[in-house]
Copies of this chain bind each other. A is one copy, B any other.
Amino acid sequence: MTTVQNAEVSGRRVAVRWQEGGAAEFPFLWLRDNCRCPQCRHPGNGQRLLDTLDIPDDIAPKAVAARGDAVEIGWSDGHDSRYAADWLKAHELSPQARARRQLHHRLWGNEIANDLPRADWNELERSPEAERAFLARYHEFGFGLVDNVPVRSGMVVEAGNRFGHVRVTNYGAYFDVKSIPNPNNLAYTSVGLGVHTDNPYRDPSPGIQLLHCLEADAPGGDSILVDGFKVAEDLRREDPAAFERLSRLPQHFHFWDKNADLEADQRVIHTDHEGHIRNVHFNNRSAAPIDLPLEEVEGWYAAYRRFARLLRRPEGELRFRLAPGQLLMFQNDRVLHGRDGFDPNQGRRHLQGCYIDQDGILSRWRVLEREGAKVPA
């Protein structure tokens, strides 16, 4: 529990000193806008009732008081606010506090081959704590493997709706990955596929992919995963100019068949305003002619080819063979996936896949963390 030692006005901010050491500043407008009282936020659903625009431009405290477990402020607009010390501490705006709030990604290469984020389907069904622990690891690594998922057609949709909400596309609620004649997509052949992210030609592109193995006795067809965030960080270190280009200039993607015609622009590396990598898109098969100012084209190609080469480094490739009953779930805009070619004349290889989005699975994880994810007695 945090304790307030002192709170006072400093310029257009309130400066707070903590008993435990350290201090923080909060701008007047930010404080008034985030008043926690039931007039400013609906007590039942937490939604805001106060409109930011209704706060006067010159809002300022008339009185500031440190109350140990809270700071109390009487405002120039006549409103009184009370901010719990713990809440203020959790929302500090210093670089250190802000960094602590970032979702932590563990970047990986094939050194994790013997310690994959992994769970058993029956255990997940039985234990909220097992699911919470699995989802925590999943979010850290960007993928997870689930064993003993019932081997039946359509099960991948059930799994998708367990973790989030299945996103239906022109491929349907799920798709069969197996070798067929005259496919509309090279995925539905037996050729090897270099590592890629799925559907960059779709806006929004799928956040998460699930692949459920139903049959796998054809020789070949091993799965390959590469951590796109790790390789993007390698690129940033080894060739900052290439990183800058790929995070600024979009690539164009296109897919069409009889019933669909999908086009979108995506940056290969997408960073936020502070340079954190948010997602990665990479797909040779559906790349369309890039549509950039003429003078940017050669630089973009050099950067792209540099990144593509880094993606092929063997130490970044996690290779394994999916067995029937295994389900692989991965963040499609972080972890690239591919496969070796296989021989469809000597056996079968049949996966079913579907897409879900970040919102549902993050929400499920947060709810489990929030509820303490108690194992039922």
**A residues neighboring B (CB under 8 Å):** 12, 25, 27, 29-30, 33-34, 42, 44-49, 51-53, 57, 91, 93-95, 98, 101, 165-170, 182-186, 194, 202-204, 207, 248-250, 254-257, 259-265, 267, 272-273, 284-287, 289-294, 297-298, 301, 304-305, 308-309, 312, 357-360, 362-363, 366-367, 370
Q: Which 8 A-B pairs have the closest CB atoms?
A: A261-B366, A204-B204, A165-B168, A93-B294, A202-B359, A47-B285, A203-B358, A27-B297
Can you spell out 29 A-B residue pairs with CB atoms less than 8 angstroms apart? A12-B298, A27-B294, A29-B298, A30-B289, A33-B301, A45-B185, A45-B186, A45-B257, A46-B255, A49-B186, A51-B194, A51-B284, A52-B287, A52-B304, A93-B292, A98-B291, A98-B293, A101-B291, A165-B168, A167-B167, A169-B359, A170-B360, A204-B357, A204-B359, A249-B273, A250-B273, A260-B363, A261-B367, A262-B359
CA distance A203 to B208 in the complex (A): 11
Name the residue of chain B whose CB is nearest to the CB of A273: B248
Q: Are A305 and B204 in contact (CB under 8 A)?
A: no
Q: Are A289 and B34 in contact (CB under 8 A)?
A: yes
CA distance A360 to B25 in the complex (A): 47
Give the oligomeric copy count. 2
Name the residue of chain B whose CB is nearest to the CB of A256: B46
Residues of B within 8 A of A273 (CB): 248-250, 267
Q: B93, B250, B262, B289: which contacts A297 (Cβ < 8 A)? A: B93
Residues of B within 8 A of A93 (CB): 291-294, 297
Q: Are A367 and B260 in contact (CB under 8 A)?
A: yes
CA distance A260 to B284 in the complex (A): 37
Q: Are A264 and B305 in contact (CB under 8 A)?
A: no
Residues of B within 8 A of A46 (CB): 254-256
Q: Are B30 and A297 in contact (CB under 8 A)?
A: yes
Nearest-neighbour CB distance to chain B for A169, whole angstroms, equals 6
A261-B363 in contact given A294-B94, A304-B52 (Cβ < 8 Å): yes
Residues of B within 8 A of A182 (CB): 44
CA distance A203 to B273 in the complex (A): 17
Nearest-neighbour CB distance to chain B for A170, whole angstroms, equals 7
Q: Are B261 and A370 in contact (CB under 8 A)?
A: yes
Residues of B within 8 A of A285 (CB): 47-48
Q: B45, B165, B312: which contacts A169 (Cβ < 8 A)? A: B165
CA distance A298 to B287 in the complex (A): 42
Q: Are A185 and B47 in contact (CB under 8 A)?
A: yes
CA distance A44 to B273 in the complex (A): 41
Q: B30, B165, B204: which contacts A290 (Cβ < 8 A)? A: B30
Q: Are A298 and B27 in contact (CB under 8 A)?
A: yes
13 additional contacts, CB 8 Å, given A52-B284, A167-B167? A47-B186, A52-B301, A52-B308, A53-B308, A94-B294, A98-B291, A169-B359, A203-B358, A259-B367, A260-B367, A262-B359, A265-B272, A267-B273
Nearest-neighbour CB distance to chain B for A62, whole angstroms, equals 20
CA distance A293 to B309 in the complex (A): 36
Residues of B within 8 A of A101 (CB): 291
Residues of B within 8 A of A184 (CB): 44-45
CA distance A46 to B168 in the complex (A): 23
Nearest-neighbour CB distance to chain B for A331, whole angstroms, equals 12
Q: B25, B263, B363: which contacts A366 (Cβ < 8 A)? A: B263
CA distance A204 to B355 in the complex (A): 13
Q: Are B170 and A363 in contact (CB under 8 A)?
A: yes
CA distance A168 to B168 in the complex (A): 9
Nearest-neighbour CB distance to chain B for A84, whole angstroms, equals 13
